[in-house]
Amino acid sequence: MRNKDRQELKRGREIYECISQNPGLHMRELSRKLDIPISSLKYHLYNFEKRKIIVSKRDSKYSRYFLSHVISEEEKKIVNVFRKQTNLTIILSFILMIQCSQQELSTYLGKHPATIAFHLRKMKKASIIEQVPITNGVLVLDKVPSIMKRQQLSNEKIYILKDPWMIYTLLHKYKDNLEHKELAALVIEYVEAAISDGVPKHIQTKEDTIDSVANFFFDFIFPISFRS
Protein backbone atom coordinates (compact mmCIF):
# COMPACT_ATOMS: atom_id res chain seq x y z
CA MET A 1 0.00 0.00 0.00
CA ARG A 2 1.33 3.41 -0.92
CA ASN A 3 2.18 5.84 1.87
CA LYS A 4 -0.49 8.24 0.53
CA ASP A 5 -3.13 5.50 0.77
CA ARG A 6 -2.13 4.71 4.36
CA GLN A 7 -2.42 8.40 5.23
CA GLU A 8 -5.90 8.58 3.70
CA LEU A 9 -7.04 5.49 5.66
CA LYS A 10 -5.65 6.95 8.88
CA ARG A 11 -7.37 10.26 8.21
CA GLY A 12 -10.66 8.49 7.47
CA ARG A 13 -10.48 6.60 10.78
CA GLU A 14 -9.77 9.86 12.64
CA ILE A 15 -12.82 11.51 11.06
CA TYR A 16 -15.04 8.50 11.86
CA GLU A 17 -13.86 8.35 15.48
CA CYS A 18 -14.30 12.11 15.91
CA ILE A 19 -17.92 11.96 14.67
CA SER A 20 -18.52 8.91 16.88
CA GLN A 21 -17.29 10.76 19.97
CA ASN A 22 -18.74 14.16 19.01
CA PRO A 23 -22.02 13.61 17.12
CA GLY A 24 -23.52 16.76 15.64
CA LEU A 25 -20.36 18.66 14.70
CA HIS A 26 -20.46 20.56 11.44
CA MET A 27 -17.73 20.59 8.80
CA ARG A 28 -15.72 23.57 10.02
CA GLU A 29 -15.81 22.25 13.60
CA LEU A 30 -14.50 18.90 12.37
CA SER A 31 -11.82 20.66 10.31
CA ARG A 32 -10.63 22.69 13.32
CA LYS A 33 -10.79 19.77 15.74
CA LEU A 34 -8.84 17.40 13.49
CA ASP A 35 -6.65 20.02 11.77
CA ILE A 36 -7.75 18.68 8.38
CA PRO A 37 -8.22 20.95 5.32
CA ILE A 38 -11.85 21.44 4.28
CA SER A 39 -11.16 20.02 0.81
CA SER A 40 -9.83 16.74 2.22
CA LEU A 41 -12.60 16.57 4.81
CA LYS A 42 -15.27 17.03 2.14
CA TYR A 43 -13.82 14.10 0.20
CA HIS A 44 -14.01 11.75 3.19
CA LEU A 45 -17.44 12.92 4.33
CA TYR A 46 -18.83 12.49 0.80
CA ASN A 47 -17.53 8.92 0.64
CA PHE A 48 -18.78 8.08 4.14
CA GLU A 49 -22.26 9.38 3.27
CA LYS A 50 -22.25 7.57 -0.09
CA ARG A 51 -21.47 4.31 1.75
CA LYS A 52 -24.11 5.15 4.40
CA ILE A 53 -21.51 5.08 7.19
CA ILE A 54 -22.51 8.56 8.34
CA VAL A 55 -25.54 10.79 7.79
CA SER A 56 -25.80 14.57 7.71
CA LYS A 57 -28.68 16.61 9.05
CA ARG A 58 -29.24 20.18 7.92
CA ASP A 59 -29.42 22.69 10.77
CA SER A 60 -29.96 26.26 9.56
CA LYS A 61 -26.82 27.05 7.54
CA TYR A 62 -24.85 24.00 8.71
CA SER A 63 -24.85 20.29 7.92
CA ARG A 64 -24.14 18.30 11.08
CA TYR A 65 -22.75 14.78 10.96
CA PHE A 66 -23.72 11.59 12.81
CA LEU A 67 -22.94 7.89 12.54
CA SER A 68 -25.68 5.97 10.72
CA HIS A 69 -28.06 3.80 12.77
CA VAL A 70 -26.46 4.85 16.04
CA ILE A 71 -28.55 7.84 16.96
CA SER A 72 -32.27 8.38 16.36
CA GLU A 73 -33.69 11.31 14.42
CA GLU A 74 -35.14 12.73 17.62
CA GLU A 75 -31.79 12.46 19.36
CA LYS A 76 -30.04 14.19 16.45
CA LYS A 77 -32.53 17.04 16.67
CA ILE A 78 -31.90 17.53 20.39
CA VAL A 79 -28.10 17.28 20.05
CA ASN A 80 -28.30 20.02 17.39
CA VAL A 81 -30.06 22.21 19.94
CA PHE A 82 -27.37 21.51 22.57
CA ARG A 83 -24.69 22.77 20.17
CA LYS A 84 -25.98 26.36 20.30
CA GLN A 85 -25.00 28.27 23.44
CA THR A 86 -28.25 30.25 23.80
CA ASN A 87 -30.35 27.11 23.33
CA LEU A 88 -28.26 25.24 25.88
CA THR A 89 -28.60 27.99 28.49
CA ILE A 90 -32.37 28.09 27.87
CA ILE A 91 -32.61 24.32 28.40
CA LEU A 92 -30.53 24.51 31.58
CA SER A 93 -32.86 27.26 32.83
CA PHE A 94 -35.86 24.98 32.25
CA ILE A 95 -34.13 22.11 34.06
CA LEU A 96 -33.54 24.29 37.10
CA MET A 97 -36.84 26.18 37.15
CA ILE A 98 -39.21 23.88 35.18
CA GLN A 99 -41.16 26.73 33.58
CA CYS A 100 -40.18 30.12 32.21
CA SER A 101 -41.73 32.89 30.19
CA GLN A 102 -39.99 34.57 27.28
CA GLN A 103 -39.48 37.74 29.32
CA GLU A 104 -38.01 35.83 32.27
CA LEU A 105 -35.50 34.05 30.03
CA SER A 106 -34.59 37.37 28.43
CA THR A 107 -33.93 38.87 31.88
CA TYR A 108 -32.16 35.82 33.34
CA LEU A 109 -29.85 35.28 30.37
CA GLY A 110 -29.29 38.92 29.44
CA LYS A 111 -30.54 38.40 25.88
CA HIS A 112 -32.84 40.61 23.82
CA PRO A 113 -36.48 39.38 23.91
CA ALA A 114 -36.46 39.00 20.12
CA THR A 115 -33.43 36.69 20.37
CA ILE A 116 -35.12 34.55 23.01
CA ALA A 117 -38.35 34.48 20.97
CA PHE A 118 -36.43 33.25 17.92
CA HIS A 119 -34.87 30.36 19.85
CA LEU A 120 -38.12 29.45 21.58
CA ARG A 121 -39.90 29.25 18.22
CA LYS A 122 -37.19 26.93 16.89
CA MET A 123 -37.33 24.73 19.99
CA LYS A 124 -41.12 24.62 19.94
CA LYS A 125 -41.12 23.65 16.26
CA ALA A 126 -38.65 20.87 17.11
CA SER A 127 -41.05 19.64 19.87
CA ILE A 128 -38.44 20.23 22.58
CA ILE A 129 -40.55 22.76 24.48
CA GLU A 130 -44.27 23.38 24.66
CA GLN A 131 -46.47 26.23 25.76
CA VAL A 132 -48.70 25.54 28.76
CA PRO A 133 -51.87 27.45 29.72
CA ILE A 134 -52.03 29.50 32.91
CA THR A 135 -55.29 30.51 34.59
CA ASN A 136 -55.43 32.74 37.66
CA GLY A 137 -51.78 32.04 38.38
CA VAL A 138 -52.13 28.24 38.16
CA LEU A 139 -50.42 25.96 35.63
CA VAL A 140 -52.04 22.57 35.07
CA LEU A 141 -49.58 20.07 33.57
CA ASP A 142 -49.94 16.51 32.33
CA LYS A 143 -46.76 15.49 34.17
CA VAL A 144 -45.34 15.75 37.69
CA PRO A 145 -45.83 18.23 39.25
CA SER A 146 -49.37 18.36 37.87
CA ILE A 147 -50.33 21.73 39.40
CA MET A 148 -47.95 24.66 39.83
CA LYS A 149 -48.57 28.20 40.99
CA ARG A 150 -46.75 31.31 39.86
CA GLN A 151 -47.29 35.02 39.58
CA GLN A 152 -49.22 35.75 36.41
CA LEU A 153 -48.57 38.68 34.13
CA SER A 154 -51.05 39.64 31.43
CA ASN A 155 -50.67 37.98 28.03
CA GLU A 156 -47.48 36.12 28.99
CA LYS A 157 -46.71 32.74 27.47
CA ILE A 158 -45.29 30.04 29.73
CA TYR A 159 -43.08 27.28 28.35
CA ILE A 160 -41.80 23.97 29.73
CA LEU A 161 -39.65 21.14 28.38
CA LYS A 162 -41.91 18.69 26.60
CA ASP A 163 -39.98 15.69 27.97
CA PRO A 164 -37.59 16.92 30.69
CA TRP A 165 -36.42 13.42 31.62
CA MET A 166 -35.33 12.64 28.06
CA ILE A 167 -33.64 16.04 27.69
CA TYR A 168 -31.80 15.59 30.98
CA THR A 169 -30.72 12.05 30.01
CA LEU A 170 -29.31 13.24 26.67
CA LEU A 171 -27.64 16.23 28.32
CA HIS A 172 -25.93 13.81 30.67
CA LYS A 173 -24.97 11.52 27.77
CA TYR A 174 -23.34 14.27 25.70
CA LYS A 175 -22.09 16.55 28.48
CA ASP A 176 -18.40 15.87 27.77
CA ASN A 177 -18.76 16.71 24.06
CA LEU A 178 -20.47 20.08 24.36
CA GLU A 179 -18.66 23.33 23.64
CA HIS A 180 -19.98 24.71 26.93
CA LYS A 181 -19.52 21.49 28.90
CA GLU A 182 -18.42 23.26 32.09
CA LEU A 183 -21.79 25.00 32.40
CA ALA A 184 -23.71 21.79 31.67
CA ALA A 185 -21.55 19.83 34.13
CA LEU A 186 -22.24 22.40 36.85
CA VAL A 187 -26.02 22.08 36.45
CA ILE A 188 -25.83 18.27 36.27
CA GLU A 189 -23.72 18.13 39.42
CA TYR A 190 -26.21 20.33 41.25
CA VAL A 191 -29.25 18.35 40.08
CA GLU A 192 -27.74 14.96 40.90
CA ALA A 193 -26.39 15.91 44.31
CA ALA A 194 -29.05 18.31 45.55
CA ILE A 195 -32.23 16.83 44.06
CA SER A 196 -33.05 13.27 45.03
CA ASP A 197 -34.66 12.01 41.84
CA GLY A 198 -33.54 14.23 39.00
CA VAL A 199 -35.38 17.19 37.53
CA PRO A 200 -36.86 19.53 40.21
CA LYS A 201 -40.56 19.28 40.95
CA HIS A 202 -41.22 22.80 42.21
CA ILE A 203 -40.95 26.23 40.65
CA GLN A 204 -37.98 28.34 41.57
CA THR A 205 -37.56 32.02 40.85
CA LYS A 206 -34.27 33.31 39.53
CA GLU A 207 -33.33 34.43 43.04
CA ASP A 208 -34.34 31.08 44.60
CA THR A 209 -32.28 29.23 42.02
CA ILE A 210 -29.19 31.37 42.55
CA ASP A 211 -29.50 30.95 46.32
CA SER A 212 -30.03 27.18 46.23
CA VAL A 213 -27.18 26.57 43.77
CA ALA A 214 -24.84 28.89 45.68
CA ASN A 215 -25.75 27.28 49.01
CA PHE A 216 -25.24 23.80 47.58
CA PHE A 217 -21.75 24.51 46.29
CA PHE A 218 -20.82 26.40 49.47
CA ASP A 219 -21.88 23.39 51.55
CA PHE A 220 -20.16 21.04 49.12
CA ILE A 221 -16.85 22.91 49.30
CA PHE A 222 -17.05 23.95 52.96
CA PRO A 223 -18.74 21.23 55.08
CA ILE A 224 -20.34 22.10 58.41
CA SER A 225 -17.38 20.64 60.32
CA PHE A 226 -15.09 23.12 58.54
CA ARG A 227 -17.32 26.11 59.30
CA SER A 228 -17.95 25.34 62.97
pLDDT tens by residue, 194-213 = 665 555 555 555 566 666 65
- The answer to whether residue 226 sits within a structural domain is no
Same domain membership, residue 195 and residue 97: yes
- What's the full length of the chain, in residues? 228
Same domain membership, residue 178 and residue 156: yes
pLDDT the model gives residue 27:
93
- The answer to whether residue 183 sits within a structural domain is yes
Report the domain count for the chain.
2
Residues forming a β-bridge with 58: 63
- The answer to whether residue 115 sits within a structural domain is yes
Say whether pLDDT at 141 is over 70: no
Same domain membership, residue 146 and residue 199: yes
Q: What percent of the chain has pLDDT over 70?
A: 75
Distance between CA atoms of 62 and 25, rounded to whole angstroms? Answer: 9
Same domain membership, residue 182 and residue 107: yes
- The answer to whether residue 228 sits within a structural domain is no
Cα 207 to chain centroid distance, Å, stands at 23
- The answer to whether residue 17 sits within a structural domain is yes
CATH number at residue 30: 1.10.10.10
Say whether pLDDT at 127 is over 50: yes
- The answer to whether residue 119 sits within a structural domain is yes
Distance between CA atoms of 94 and 74, rounded to whole angstroms? Answer: 19
Q: What percent of the chain has pLDDT over 90?
A: 27
Q: Give the domain extent around 66.
A: 3-71
Domain limit, last residue, from 19, 42, 71: 71
